[in-house]
Chain A
Amino acid sequence: MKYTRKATPVVLAAAVALTLTACAQSERASGQGGASSGGDTKDTFTFGAAGAPEVFDPFYATDGETFRVTRQIMEGLVGIKAGTAEVEPELAEKWEPSADGKEWTFTLRKGVKFTDGTPFNADAVCYNFERMFDQNEAAAAGPAEYWSTTMGAFKSKAKDSLYQGCEAKDESTVVLKVARATSKFPTMLSLDSFSMQSPKAMKEGDANNVKTQGEGFAYPKYSFNPVATGPYKLEKYDEANKTVTLVRNDDYWGEKAKTKKIVFKIIPDESTRRQELKAGSIDAYDLPNPVDWNGLKSDGNKVMVRPAFNILYMGLNPQKNPKLKDLKVRQALLYALNRDQLVKTQLPDGATVATQFMPETVSGYNKELKAYPYDPEKAKSLLKEAGAEGMSLTFAYPSEVSRPYMPNPQKIHDALRSDLEKVGIKVNVVTKPWNGGYLDGVDNGQFDAWLLGWTGDYDSADNFVGTFFGNYDVNDFHTKATSYGKQLADDLAKADSIVDKGQRDAAYEKLNQQIMEEYLPGLPISHSPPALVVSPKVQGVVPSPLTAEEFSGVTVGK
């Protein structure tokens, strides 16, 4: 082996560097930088996101991190009034149902344009719905999850679908047909997944072309180049630096966004987000750890606590453990749990004991219901009556996860477990990683009891109790193994189809009472308020109970 000492690598390195320099050109926009804008506000709002957006086409997304981004660049026919869970007009100015609740006429806002310059009109709306309806097998199996859960089926099984067609009456009038009256309509149209996107861009980017490849899904080009009508548009997604940059849509139909850019900086670690906020490199982040709330406040930040729109419950599986078939046993379990202490010590301020399977903000909530009090003696005597003293119970909790309704599963489980042990129940503790067998285990009915919860998608009782018990054949609670399961599912479907809101709410209130007093398929535990923290310089963030904030009114002081 021959080589020239020392000189070779130096020459080589220099050559490589020169070649590279020759083809590397700065692509910076001239005059960039935060200082260029006048006034006393910064031109960028930086948000610390916990995860990367999966795709930028919200129709194929299910996670909050994606929706947080797409919400700034997209709008639906129906919007949510800032700071509430109520619907308000967005791209549709008004809507009117037919008497049977099966045809909905939407009057569209005029003069709205997609950011690619094409007009937003009735044809565009129908194109959007037909596009969502007409999904291939791959997309239908997973990515288009929100459509599956709300509409039931796709074009291939058109009969089973709630959506039955879209008709453009004129430039700004659209009629949407549904198979039956349902409480969810039109509220469900406020879901981020059902945002209106540019037909032209979707055609060009082959938006529906989702494919399974190996064990994953391959998304079309459009999924990463979204075009819609919102106050912001996607500027770039810098994967290497883990940042998503949005820039103001200067042709927006409504009030223009106050801050020129929004940057989402992806910081998976919770404590790092807090440190970044302290260091001033981000202006806000979502779901601060409850233990940090006080510290954050004393640093001058604003901790915005949203109303709880979620439920944590302890699921029970009567099929796995036949003792649980007895209502007395299920009631005994609920009497045994000291939920007051749990809420006080392990959950954030503002958390409450759940009296039923939905939070107070949902229409159909039964205010009359009282929480089962903590009464270990009663629990013991009920167990005795049922002949289930000293019964054993396999009670599972997930590891590697933190959910808004369950900030620390292990600690919650620990508290509940010791309560159960106090009334003589033998608890077998099982824990599995959230993605590594826990969710599977729940779905496959492997545990007698488990911890899980739900955050509402929109204001609808059906979105809570309907999700839990509405499907009689298969649900996590295995109500099929009980005497009341069929009745409950039928009643839920009936309540959902009542057109009149007053009557419908009354029906749900009654159902909630029945669920708690006669059925008790699981044990509701608590509602925890999720928080959002912003630095003192930030103005204009309106916390949303649905954790669906829009940032177009946000300003960041210098």
Chain B
Amino acid sequence: MTPNPLKTQADRRKERIDDLAATAGGSPSGTVTGAGEIEESPGVSLIASAWRRLRRNPVFLVGAGITLAFVVLAIIAPWIAPHDPTQGLLLDKVRQQSNPIPGSEPGFPLGADNRGRDLLSRLLVGAQQTLIVGVGATVIGLVGGLTLGTLAGAFGGWVDSFIMRIVDVMLSIPSLLLAMSLAAVAARPSQMTVILAIAIVEIPIFARLLRGSMLAVRSSDHVLAARALGVKQSAVVFRHIIPNSLAPVIVQATIVLATAIIDAAALSFLGLGNPDDRKPEWGQMLGASQEFLGDHPHLAFYPAACIIIVALGFTLMGESLREALDPKSRR
């Protein structure tokens, strides 16, 4: 790189990601000063020490609780949903003017939507699709980032620079704008195109993060020590480098889960979401409720509340994880 008198904006953005990546290497425990109530013994790994701190952090516990509840709900939803969310059971009660949205009645505590489908069941089952969108986007972003990051890290040289330049360009485009564009390109919009649109935006972030953290871990003390002790190369990579590089990635992933769910809702709002609503998803339900906001705001409020709570859960968990892993904030 040419010498540069000023740090550019993009550089600093990259640095922020690299900072997080650096936490992977883990500063040697001893250098953490003022750890307060936490006793750091030399033998405890970074993750274990982080966990000890997290266990007592109410912010983390709330976040993790919400997340856990959400995941459990998403898995068991089809069994506990009182009705089939795709069947217009109350369709006969729907009248475009006099009764567009059937209200609550026995067996249908929240009433139904515009097509007579039980709202409670849709919300419950919606957790599943929402989780799929969130996890799908994150996993694809992660895998893409992992591939790019590993390639860059493994080959080095011009491959590294080339990949990293692409990644930097992608980082410089506002994320939702890119997702919007990608979703709009899709010839046949579907759940998958929404997931892909959001995932692609995350690829460069993960790529940069992984490459950075792998570099940091590679030169960290315990890896050097393992090498010095004659541990096999493959064992070093799989037992030391990768597990330790993953910590910041996991942190980022929890945060990405939240943004993915919110972005999916934004795409639906702009009419770029999945048009097929046989499998309900909260963002889609929120987007679809626009036309009923005037007289039936509850159709918007339930999915919105679900999204907010879940996004908050992921964010709380992610932020407290980040803080726990970041040596700087351990003061």
Contacts and interface: CB of A to CB of B under 8 A. Distances in A.
Partners in one complex: yes
Interface of A: 270-271, 274-275, 289-295, 341, 344-349, 399-400, 407, 410-411, 414, 429-433, 436-437
A292 B294 contact: yes
Contacts of B275: 399, 410, 431
Contact of B271 (A290, A291, A400, A430): A400
Given A271-B291, A411-B114, A430-B188, A290 B97 contact: yes
Given A399-B271, A399-B275, A429-B276, A271 B96 contact: no
B45 interface: no
Given A290-B97, A345-B96, A295 B187 contact: no
Most buried by B among A270, A295, A345, A400: A345
Interface stretch (B87-95, B239-247, B308-316): B87-95
B97 A432 contact: no
Given A291-B96, A345-B96, A410 B277 contact: yes
Contacts of B290: 271
Interface of B: 91-92, 94-98, 100-101, 114-116, 184, 187-189, 271, 275-278, 290-295
Given A271-B291, A400-B271, A346 B189 contact: no
The 6 closest A-B pairs by CB, nearest first: A291-B100, A290-B96, A399-B275, A295-B295, A345-B94, A293-B97
Contact of A345 (B91, B276, B278, B295): B91
A294 B293 contact: no
Given A289-B291, A399-B275, A411-B114, A345 B92 contact: yes
Most buried by A among B96, B98, B271, B276: B96
Contacts, number: 71
Contacts of A348: 96-97
Given A400-B271, A431-B189, A432-B188, A347 B96 contact: yes
Given A275-B294, A292-B294, A437 B187 contact: yes
A274 B294 CA distance: 8
Contacts of B115: 346, 411, 414
Nearest to A292: B294
B153 to A, nearest CB: 39
Contact of A294 (B91, B97, B114, B187): B97
Contacts of A399: 189, 271, 275
A407 to B, nearest CB: 8
A271 B287 CA distance: 13
A62 B143 CA distance: 49
Given A399-B271, A411-B115, A291 B292 contact: yes
B186 to A, nearest CB: 9
A292 B114 CA distance: 13
A437 B116 CA distance: 30
Given A290-B97, A411-B114, A431-B189, 11 more contacts: A290-B96, A292-B294, A293-B97, A294-B98, A341-B92, A345-B96, A399-B275, A414-B278, A429-B276, A431-B276, A432-B187
